[in-house]
Chains A and B, each alone.
Chain A
Amino acid sequence: GAGVSQSPRYKVTKRGQDVALRCDPISGHVSLYWYRQALGQGPEFLTYFNYEAQQDKSGLPNDRFSAERPEGSISTLTIQRTEQRDSAMYRCASSPGPYNEQFFGPGTRLTVL
């Protein structure tokens, strides 16, 4: 079956622009997670949802970052007024439930010039 998909795969933007990153989880998966991975480092947790409810957003670095999952399926991570330090791979993962295996998408490589 189809895995987790993310779009776009690559995004280049100029400093100060807003970007929206999309995650399409595996059908039927209740839980959805966002992580950020800098080059040469492990992924860092940003936020997660069960259905449409945002359960934990403690990993979001500042108020320029927000996420939503309005219908409990597709999720969007939005970064406002991007800065060069936001450049990283943004990964989405989904799981059947909160304590099941997380399946990762291919990631969106964000470059802020």
Chain B
Amino acid sequence: AQTVTQSQPEMSVQEAETVTLSCTYDTSESDYYLFWYKQPPSRQMILVIRQEAYKQQNATENRFSVNFQKAAKSFSLKISDSQLGDAAMYFCAYRSQETSGSRLTFGEGTQLTVNP
């Protein structure tokens, strides 16, 4: 079974600075997707960014980018120019494209605080 681990329960960053959230995963599969979701205080689940395992190029969405290291099974999220609205719980998630069906497997989350 696949597992996702987020080793940083809490992180903080100064407004306008850069922060990196860590995620590692364990799988024997070669075809999968990785995701970062944001959960603000409203507790909605908002997709931030996704990465397909077969793509070597790291995904980027505006101020959000990932560092995907397939061999190391690492998938970190970098937030540049942090804004107060980035404060939220961030979840890393895995989805198989092979035998496990299309369920999402989530990590435990990292609570990000943005200080003004």
Contact = CB atoms under 8 A, between A and B. Distances in A.
Nearest to B6: A42
A42 B45 contact: no
A107 interface: yes
Interface of B: 4, 43-45, 47, 50, 91, 93, 95, 97, 101-109
A interface, size bucket: 20 to 34
Contacts of A45: 103-105
A18 interface: no
Given A41-B109, A42-B109, A48 B101 contact: yes
Nearest to A3: B44
Contact of B104 (A89, A102, A106): A102
Chain A contact residues: helix, strand, loop or mixed: strand
Interface of A: 31, 33, 35, 40-45, 48, 55-56, 59, 89, 91, 93, 95, 98-99, 101-102, 104, 106-107
A31 B102 contact: yes
24 contacts: A31-B102, A33-B104, A41-B108, A41-B109, A42-B4, A42-B91, A42-B107, A42-B108, A42-B109, A43-B45, A43-B104, A48-B101, A55-B101, A56-B101, A56-B103, A59-B103, A89-B43, A99-B95, A99-B97, A99-B102, A101-B50, A102-B104, A106-B43, A106-B44
